[in-house]
Homo-oligomer: A and B are copies of this chain.
Amino acid sequence: MPDEWLPQPATEDIRLVKVLHALGDPVRLQLLSVYLKGREFDCELSGLGLDHLHKSTVSHHMKVLREAGVTSTRVSGRHRFVQLRRSDLDKRFPGLLDALLRGLEGEAS
């Protein structure tokens, strides 16, 4: 059984306002920080520094990021492998991701 990808918007359907809304939440911005720095791939829900949140809550935030076009999720067995849609976002909003990364590094949140 081959891997599958969870549904996500096409590159040209990514809306800036939805991206900003998705990232305008402390938890999801922290998730972005994890995916930007750190590994580009291979992320499980556990070990994200979100132990204080229920697993269903984290799953919900993942869905918001994916449906906004920020992340891409591949399903393999019981695990989900999440990565940033870096090239798509760079194509759609050049420089935005880099600016966000620098902003996150500048804040010692």
Contacts and interface: CB of A to CB of B under 8 A. Distances in A.
Interface in A70-103: 92-96, 98-100, 102-103
Identical subunits present:
2
Chain A contact residues: over half helix, strand or loop, or mixed? helix
Interface residues of A, number: 26
A40 to B, nearest CB: 21
A23 interface: yes
A38 interface: no
Interface stretch (A2-10, A14-22, A42-50, A51-59): A14-22
Nearest to A29: B17
Contacts of A100: 16, 93, 96
